[in-house]
């Protein structure tokens, strides 16, 4: 993962490779002028030379001055790559044709390498509206297909999402895997609750599932906010372990305060009864659609406190913690000055998320089909191997 920390400042301070190419271009143009016999200065176009009256007048080479840099990199590249003009009747031009071709080839190769290097830098680092690299504390605009342009202020030390859709591959059954440097790094998983009914975990494993996130319980969203246990958790846990699957858990939260969050975390830990988990315990805090809920007026600062309290309580008990959130909630509500040190499980059902910050798991569909489960089920891939 890439981090926006002080170590990256040195990378930003390096010279722009296109500036160096401009200087090299100017020197090469001067050399070309000398080969043609004009000896122009690199920063000014040469004067036209007189042609002998016995020889029909031929168009002479006009070497253009270096083209100033603009933000339109494609236009700049096209201008630099304009074909050079040569007179076939000029003895000097014919004599030096081969060296000129070689120089042109070298120049083109250097230009391509330089532009490619700059593009790689820009794609691997956050940029602002002008396409310039940004440092922690600066603003960056993210274009989201649903929410439109979102302006964020970058947070020092917050890990940035480096995943790209190009590295995602689907197998013959439509299940995704993520590759990095040619190596598969993701793990296929499903999250289950009592609503899935009877589950054949061995069939799930044979279909490619590597881990399951099991609902351990939750809180009702009514005013009373009573806590409850998922009736299938213990059975699912035993059967998943017997099938050789890795197991994590999640708690459906309707906490309206940090105190509620601490209560929920302790309840989940108590219901685990010391069971071993391979994956974390996730806080699944959600807004309730189409109904009134005790959490309707929770602010972003309050939600940040809720997540921090839940995760810290879980971690203090010896388990790993995780925060489940959809993309809008992550962008709009969470304060990443606080949340930068926590792992995220992102729910985003588009082709690929546009999330700016790092996430560890991706719930890519809630209408998945997998052997061993009747009906639909939430499917996920984890970029992080939590067992390490």
Handedness of CA 113, 114, 118, 124 (dihedral sign): positive
Q: Residue 148 has what pLDDT?
A: 87
CA pair distance 315, 274, nearest whole angstrom: 14
- Are 144 and 327 in contact, with CB atoms under 8 Å apart? yes
Q: Residue 24 has what pLDDT?
A: 57
Same domain, 185 and 106: no
Same domain, 194 and 100: no
Residues forming a β-bridge with 38: none
Q: Quick check: is 129 in a domain?
A: no
In sequence order, which ranges of 251-373 are alpha helices (DSSP H)?
258-272, 300-316, 327-332, 336-339
CATH number of the domain residue 284 falls in = 3.20.20.80
Same domain, 273 and 370: yes
Same domain, 212 and 257: yes
Query: For residue 247, what are the domain limits?
Result: 157-382
Q: Are strands 211-219 and 187-192 parallel, antiparallel or unpaired?
A: parallel
Q: Residue 152 has what pLDDT?
A: 83
Domains of the chain: total: 2
**pLDDT one-digit tens code per residue, 299-321:** 999 999 999 999 999 999 999 99
CA pair distance 58, 87, nearest whole angstrom: 7
Ranges of residues in the chain with a pLDDT under 70 are 1-137
Q: Quick check: is 143 in a domain?
A: no
Same domain, 244 and 335: yes
Q: Residue 74 has what pLDDT?
A: 38
Query: pTM of the entire structure?
Result: 0.66
Q: Residue 49 has what pLDDT?
A: 37
- Are 173 and 368 in contact, with CB atoms under 8 Å apart? no
Q: Residue 176 has what pLDDT?
A: 97
């Amino acid at each position: 993962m890439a981090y926006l920390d002080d170590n990256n400042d040195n990378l930003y301070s390096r010279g722009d490779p296109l500036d160096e190419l401009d200087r090299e271009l100017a020197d090469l143009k001067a050399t070309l002028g000398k080969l043609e016999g004009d000896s122009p200065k690199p920063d000014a176009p040469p004067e036209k030379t007189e042609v002998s009256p016995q020889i029909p007048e031929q168009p002479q080479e006009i070497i253009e001055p270096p083209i100033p840099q603009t933000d339109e990199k494609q236009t700049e590249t096209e201008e630099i790559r304009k074909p050079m003009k040569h007179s076939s009747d000029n003895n000097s031009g014919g004599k030096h044709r081969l060296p000129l071709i070689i120089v042109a080839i070298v120049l083109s190769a250097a230009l391509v390498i330089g532009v490619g290097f700059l593009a790689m830098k820009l794609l691997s680092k956050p940029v602002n509206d002008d396409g310039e690299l940004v440092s922690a504390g600066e603003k960056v605009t993210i274009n989201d297909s649903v929410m439109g342009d979102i302006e964020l202020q970058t947070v020092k030390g917050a890990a940035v999402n480096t995943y790209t859709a190009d590295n995602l591959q689907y197998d013959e059954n439509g299940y995704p895997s993520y590759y990095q440097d040619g190596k598969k790094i993701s793990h296929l998983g499903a999250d289950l609750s009592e609503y899935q009914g009877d589950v054949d975990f061995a069939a799930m494993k044979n279909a490619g599932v590597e881990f399951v996130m099991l609902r351990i319980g939750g809180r009702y969203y009514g005013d009373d906010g009573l806590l409850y246990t998922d009736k299938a958790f213990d059975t699912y846990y035993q059967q998943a372990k017997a099938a050789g699957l890795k197991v994590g858990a999640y708690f459906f939260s309707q906490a309206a305060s940090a105190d509620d969050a601490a209560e929920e975390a302790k309840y989940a830990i108590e219901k685990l009864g010391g069971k071993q988990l391979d994956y974390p315990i996730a806080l699944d805090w959600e807004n309730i659609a189409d109904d009134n809920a005790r959490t309707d007026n929770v602010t972003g600062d309050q939600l940040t406190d809720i997540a921090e309290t839940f995760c810290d309580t879980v971690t203090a008990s010896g388990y790993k913690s995780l925060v489940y959130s959809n993309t809008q909630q992550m962008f709009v509500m969470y304060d990443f000055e606080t949340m930068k040190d926590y792992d995220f499980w992102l729910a985003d059902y588009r082709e690929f998320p546009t999330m700016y910050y790092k996430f560890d798991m991706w719930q890519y569909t809630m209408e998945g089909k997998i052997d061993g489960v009747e009906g639909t089920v939430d499917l996920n891939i984890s970029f992080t191997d939590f067992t390490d």
